[in-house]
Amino acid sequence: MNDARVGVVVGASGGIGSACAAALGDSADHLVLVDRRPATVTGTVATAHECVADIVTPDGRAAVRKAVEGTGGRLSWVVLASGAPLRQDFQSAPSAAIEQCLLVNLVAPMLLMKELLELPWEANGQVVVIGSISASRALPNRTVYASAKAGLEHFARSLAAELAPRQLRCNIVAPGVIDTDFLGDDRSALDGWVHSHVPMQRLGQRREVAQVVRFLVRDAPTYLSGARIAVDGATEARA
């Protein structure tokens, strides 16, 4: 075991995940980039280790753990940015789709963290969970996805309390409507919603989410844990 700092971005090929990886490339000696697809990150300073793995599976989670252990260093921070949408009303959604949404967005990140917390960590290590404003707002065709994200955010708050005696922190960044491929076919329909529901009347940018994640990892006071920061153009500020 050496003193090298290890950072992990889960969902590193996604819009927000890749932006986080680029923003945090100088915040660890080894950067482990996890996704089901190869991740391409520009501007990375740390030694990057690509881990192509599906954290839904036990083998995938074991691969992430092995990649971290292979660096020989200690975990400094983990960003959980993986996820998949389910845009369908609850009544018509197939049971298999509901189970998969909960597995991908809630169960898999929890089980991965269980693995990673068994590894050596630096003091004042940080876990940042990417939540969603869907977790706190009832939106059309988001019942299952919103439930998963609400569960993930409460997991993060509970984890913050559990990890505090170990001098580890856990915080939540909750994006609003962000301009990424995650929007899929909803992009055009969301234009009207953004203008009527988002006070700033524009989509957020992935780098704006990543900048908040970078602040939590690098600059936030060590007493800040269990917090939730919404990056949503004041959407949640409007009742």
DSSP conformation class of 165: G
d(CA 174, CA 24): 18
pLDDT of residue 193: 75
pLDDT of residue 168: 98
Q: Where are the domains of the chain?
A: 5-230
Is 223 in the active site? no
Residue with tokens 């996805």: 145
CA nearest to 225, candidates 174, 175, 166, 168? 168
Distances (CA, A) of 91 to 19, 32, 50, 66, 147: 35, 39, 39, 40, 14
The side-by-side arrangement of strands in the sheet containing 47-52 is 47-52, 30-35, 5-10, 74-80, 121-130, 169-175, 228-231
CA nearest to 165, candidates 123, 114, 128? 123
Select which of 145, 175, 194, 231 is catalytic: 145
H-run or E-run covering 36: none
pLDDT of residue 42: 66
- Cβ-contact 114, 136 below 8 angstroms: no
Instruction: State which fold the 5-230 domain adopts.
Output: Rossmann fold (3.40.50)
* pTM of the predicted protein model: 0.94
CA nearest to 77, candidates 232, 231, 227, 220? 220
d(CA 55, CA 81): 12
DSSP conformation class of 204: B
Helices (H), the chain: 15-23, 58-71, 95-102, 108-116, 143-163, 187-197, 206-214
Phi, psi for 193 (deg, rounded to 5): -65, -40
Instruction: Going residue by residue through the chain, which has 239 residues, state the pLDDT in tens, using 9 for 90 and above.
Output: 789 999 999 999 999 999 999 999 999 999 999 999 887 666 667 789 999 999 999 999 999 999 999 999 999 999 999 999 888 899 999 999 999 999 999 999 999 999 999 999 999 999 999 999 999 987 778 899 999 999 999 999 999 999 999 999 999 999 999 988 877 766 766 777 788 889 999 999 999 999 999 999 999 999 999 999 999 999 999 86
pLDDT of residue 101: 96
